[in-house]
């Protein structure tokens, strides 16, 4: 069996990557004749919407898009379709350009068949495209195919599906296509400030955005007090993809959406694709670059959430989703969504912390570990992690220099056409270097006992070397998890590897089965591939140092785990 382990390990790594990046974990695009949500039908709307630039600087083209959307809503059978016009708005006011324009929001209402004074689901997307965007070599204009053709088309297709069971509705649907979102959410601000009655009977909101045309559709933001909102999402959504940490990260980013204006008053969800930044707000955001697989992923989440909301009588209470508490949640491909109350998450942390301390103490009592060596490894891993962070930012600076793009330390950077390739290459090289340094240290540990008369001396040296690196890294993750838990309430970047590695070590010591080590490797990889992808796409290469640092910490758990799995050492 031992001779097959390298192949099993290699297959596990490859399969984990394929699963994390969407093979079998996201839906395939449905054809145009599908009975269910069809990305192909949605694409037909996008083709019309994105034919020309339609920003606030293109009033005639924007009017054509608006007229098309009004026709589509009327074709769907909306009870009412109404336009809200706001004249002589000004924005953006910056060094690049100033526009004066009229904004026209489109509101359609679909009431339930037999319910008087119903509560409504509000579905929101904006129909204007991005105005002029200065890039390193030129000024470009977006066609708005993804941003926000995705949002508009997904809403039209979702409502079309919902109308099939309209007789079962207990709530109604309002569709709001806002104007001038790209110039400071001015359409949403205007209707919120001047026509607040539109929102009086709204109990829940879904906003749909797109920060690039590719990749999974991420539930990247929810309202404050999201406990009941996440319960709905966890129960209904297919192929869920969300991290509560993204709401925290999003709060530090310079991007805002229509949901920003109302989220403190109206409970809801905010969805977006997040890859890639070079297509965002540029001329590359055109119909030829759309991804039907990404569009289908929006539908897989939003359509069942919509059906549950419209048909469940419990949601007729407009204030049903208003709650005091937030949840901690994260998605692991294949395993799905994990959603915890703050109390539950605290209990989980305490259990894992105790288990880690117990297995650490047991290894020390049995002579497999020395606290001083583990502490030394923790300090070294921390120091190298900080060095990796710095190197990652240096790499980002060099990429910006080569491309002529503006470098922003830990900021959103655009205009580097090879940024994704550069980040992948950096992490791949880092993984190879880490493995080589680990192997060199391993060989040094063996040479120290080469004169021993005991046949098992070399394997014991290898086992202790692997344990010191592994427990040193896990001890660092333990400390960082505890600090982040009590400061931010979010620690998944360190806590999830700690969970799986600790569980595997406990089970391995109890059963002697190395399968547990392989399971830990697979689960850590599933999380790391998915989470680091989302983080890298969201923060862009400007914050690559942070992504590389987290990847390094994961590697310092994965490499010794792999060594323990491959090793012939038998535990005592």
pTM for the model stands at 0.93
Per-residue model confidence (pLDDT) at position 461: 82
Consecutive H or E run containing 329 = strand 327-332
**The predicted structure's pLDDT at residue 297:** 97
DSSP letters for 114-127: T-SS--EEEEEEE-
pLDDT tens digits along 444-479 = 888 877 665 455 677 788 888 999 999 999 999 999
User: How many angstroms separate the CA atoms of 302 and 561, rounded?
Assistant: 39
CA distances from 85 to 72, 79, 190, 345 (A): 19, 20, 9, 47
Q: Which residue has the higher pLDDT, 34 or 365?
A: 34
Tell me how far apart the alpha carbons of residues 480 and 552 are, in angstroms, rounded to a whole number. Answer: 15
- Average of pLDDT values for 323-339? 94
Section 309-314 average pLDDT: 97
For position 365, what pLDDT does the model report? Answer: 87
> Do strands 120-126 and 202-208 pair parallel, antiparallel, or not at all (unpaired)?
parallel
- Tens of pLDDT along 360-385? 999 988 888 888 999 999 999 999 99
- SS3 state of residue 548: helix
User: 349: cis peptide before it, omega within 30°?
Assistant: no
Would you state the pLDDT for residue 44? 98
The label of the residue with tokens 């990247």 reads: 220
pLDDT tier, 132 (very low <50, low <70, confident <90, very high otherwise): confident
- Quote the pLDDT of residue 114: 86
Query: Which token pair is 83?
Result: 């336009």
Q: How much is the pLDDT for 453? A: 46
Residue 164, token pair as written in the block: 């099939």
Q: What is the mean pLDDT of the chain?
A: 93
pLDDT score at 143:
97
Cβ contacts of 179 within 8 Å, gap of 6 or more:
56, 62, 66, 103, 104, 105, 126, 127, 128, 186, 187
The CB density around residue 319, as the number of other CB atoms within 10 Å, is 9
Q: How far is CA 174 from CA 112, 129, 195, 207, 369, in A?
A: 11, 22, 15, 12, 62
Q: Distance between CA atoms of 339 and 345, rounded to whole angstroms?
A: 9
In the Cβ-directed half-sphere of 129, how many Cα atoms lie within 13 Å? 37
| Residues belonging to the chain | 572
**DSSP E strands, 41-194:** 80-91, 99-110, 120-126, 133-134, 139-140, 172-178
pLDDT tens digits, residue range 504-519?
A: 999 999 999 999 999 9
CA gap 431, 557 in Å, rounded: 12
- In the chain, which segments carry CATH 3.40.630.10? 35-325
Scanning the structure block, which residue is given the tokens 């309002």? Answer: 174
β 172-178/99-110 pair status:
antiparallel
Tokens describing residue 130:
């991005």
pLDDT for position 23: 76
State how far the Cα of 133 lies from the Cα of 357, in Å rounded to an integer. 53
Phi, psi of 201 (to 5 degrees): -105, 20
Binned at pLDDT 50, 70 and 90, residue 328 comes out as very high
% the chain with pLDDT above 70: 96
Residue 335 has what pLDDT?
Answer: 93
pLDDT at position 343: 94
User: Region 18-42: what's the mean pLDDT?
Assistant: 93
Q: Which residue has the tokens 């608006």?
A: 66
Partner residues linked to 219 by β-bridges:
242, 271
What stretches of 135-264 adopt beta strand conformation (E)?
A: 139-140, 172-178, 202-208, 218-222
Homologous superfamily (CATH) of 35-325 is Zn peptidases (3.40.630.10)
- Rounded CA-CA distance 563/494 in Å is 21
Q: What is the pLDDT of residues 247-273, one digit of tens each?
A: 777 666 656 899 999 999 999 999 999
DSSP code for 254: S
Cα four-point dihedral sign 315, 321, 327, 329: positive
Higher pLDDT, 557 or 410: 557
Look at residue 179 and tell me whether its pLDDT is greater than 80: yes
Q: What is the mean pLDDT of residues 524-543?
A: 94
Burial of 189 (0-12, 13-18, 19+ CB in 10 A): buried
Q: What is the mean pLDDT of residues 426-444?
A: 95
Pairing of the two strands 133-134 and 202-208: unpaired
According to the model, what pLDDT value does residue 252 have?
61
β-bridge mates for residue 214, sequence order:
275
């Amino acid at each position: 069996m031992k001779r097959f382990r390298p192949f099993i390990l290699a297959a596990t790594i490859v399969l984990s990557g394929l699963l994390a990046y969407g093979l079998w974990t996201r839906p395939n695009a449905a054809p145009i004749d599908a009975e269910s949500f069809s990305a192909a039908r949605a694409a037909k709307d996008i083709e019309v919407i994105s034919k020309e630039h339609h920003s606030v600087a293109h009033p005639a083209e924007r009017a054509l898009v608006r007229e098309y959307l009004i026709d589509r809503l009327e074709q769907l059978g909306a009870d009412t379709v109404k336009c809200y016009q706001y004249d002589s708005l000004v924005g953006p006011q910056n060094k690049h350009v100033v526009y004066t324009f009229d904004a026209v929001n489109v509101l359609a209402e679909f009431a339930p068949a037999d319910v008087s004074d119903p509560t409504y689901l509000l579905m929101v997307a904006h129909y204007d495209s991005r105005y002029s965007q200065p890039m390193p070599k030129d000024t470009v204009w977006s066609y708005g195919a993804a941003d926000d053709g995705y949002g508009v088309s997904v809403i039209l297709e979702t409502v079309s599906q919902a109308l099939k069971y309209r007789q079962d509705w207990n709530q109604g649907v309002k569709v709001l296509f806002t104007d001038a979102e790209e110039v400071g959410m001015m359409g949403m601000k205007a209707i919120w400030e001047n026509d607040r009655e539109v929102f009086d009977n709204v109990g829940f909101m879904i906003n749909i955005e797109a920060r690039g045309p590719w990749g999974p559709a991420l539930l990247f933001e929810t309202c404050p007090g999201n406990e009941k909102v996440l319960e709905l999402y966890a129960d209904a959504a297919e192929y869920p993809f969300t991290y509560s940490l993204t709401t925290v990260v999003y709060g530090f980013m310079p991007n805002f959406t229509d949901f920003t204006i109302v989220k403190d008053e109206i409970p809801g969800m905010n969805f977006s694709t997040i890859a890639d930044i070079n297509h965002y707000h540029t001329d590359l955001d055109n119909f030829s670059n759309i991804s039907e697989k990404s569009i289908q992923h929006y539908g897989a989440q939003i359509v069942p959430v919509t059906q549950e909301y419209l048909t469940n009588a419990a949601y007729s209470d407009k204030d049903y989703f208003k709650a005091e508490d937030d949840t901690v949640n994260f998605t692991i491909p294949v395993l799905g969504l994990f959603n915890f109350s703050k109390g539950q998450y605290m209990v989980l942390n305490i259990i894992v912390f105790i288990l880690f301390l117990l297995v650490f103490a047991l290894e020390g009592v049995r002579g497999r570990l020395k606290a001083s060596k583990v502490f030394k490894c923790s300090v070294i891993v921390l120091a190298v992690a900080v060095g990796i962070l710095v190197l990652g930012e240096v790499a980002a600076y060099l990429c910006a220099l080569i491309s002529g793009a503006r470098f922003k330390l830990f900021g959103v950077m655009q205009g580097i056409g090879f940024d994704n390739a550069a980040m992948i290459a950096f992490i791949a090289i880092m993984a190879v270097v880490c493995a080589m340094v680990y192997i060199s240290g391993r060989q040094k540990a063996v040479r120290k006992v080469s004169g021993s008369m005991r046949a098992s001396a070399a394997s014991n040296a290898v086992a202790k070397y692997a344990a010191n690196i592994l427990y040193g890294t896990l001890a660092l993750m333990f400390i960082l998890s505890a600090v982040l838990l009590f400061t931010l309430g979010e620690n998944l970047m360190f806590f999830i590897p700690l969970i799986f590695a600790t569980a595997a070590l406990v089970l391995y010591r109890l059963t002697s089965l190395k399968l547990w080590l392989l399971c830990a490797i697979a689960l850590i990889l599933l999380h790391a591939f998915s989470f680091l992808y989302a983080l890298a796409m969201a923060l862009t290469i400007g914050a690559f140092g942070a992504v590389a640092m987290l990847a390094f910490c994961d590697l310092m758990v994965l490499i010794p785990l792999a060594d323990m799995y491959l090793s012939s050492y038998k535990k005592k």
